[in-house]
Amino acid sequence: MTAREVTVIGCRGAAPGRASGPAVVSSDAICFYLVDPPTGTVIESGHAIEGRVIAGSVLVCPGGKGSSVVQADGLYQLAKAGTAPAAVVVAEFDTVLVASAVVVGVPLVRCAPEDFERIRDGDVLDVDSDREVVTIR
């Protein structure tokens, strides 16, 4: 047991799996097509986390955006290049994001708004979509 304070919050699982990583928190919804596959850097002009690397992180954002096609291909290209986020935590599900995460195999969960707000950039998160819990370290 560590002495550090940990917080466990409930969540709703969509795409199954478990993963851990540092939280990258975005106030903008994500379109994975506008993330650079070789580096995992957000390249969308004007985006809240433009220039940040999401590879291996737990991406925390309000939800997904972008057309029915590009979200899946964007995430697939990141996964193929090894630069996908380890897991994604959102405040709201949309069908395109859920289907993309399920098909590509990136754990995806949704937290209630009050819990979502508690996650800070740089927190280390353990996301367990199967047990439907997120642990903040």
- Active site residues per annotation: 67
* Binds other proteins by CB under 8 A, chosen from 17, 22, 41, 94: 94
* Nearest CB to other proteins, comparing residues 2 and 113: 113
The closest alpha carbon to 74, from 91, 53, 95, 97, belongs to: 97
* Residue 40 backbone zone (phi > 0: left; psi -120 to 50: alpha; other: beta): left
- Taking residues 38 to 67 in sequence order and writing x for each that binds other proteins by CB under 8 A, - otherwise, the string is -----xxx----------------xxxxxx
* Nearest CB to other proteins, comparing residues 59 and 72: 72
Q: How far is the CB of 6 from other proteins (least distance, A)?
A: 26
Count Cβ atoms below 10 Å from residue 7 Cβ, excluding itself: 12
Say if residues 104 and 79 touch (Cβ distance below 8 Å).
yes
Alpha carbon of 63 to those of 5, 20, 52, 87: distances in Å?
Answer: 28, 19, 17, 13
* Binds other proteins by CB under 8 A, chosen from 17, 73, 135, 137: 73
Site of interaction with other proteins (CB under 8 A):
12-16, 28-29, 33-34, 43-45, 62-73, 75-77, 80, 91-96, 98-100, 102-104, 110
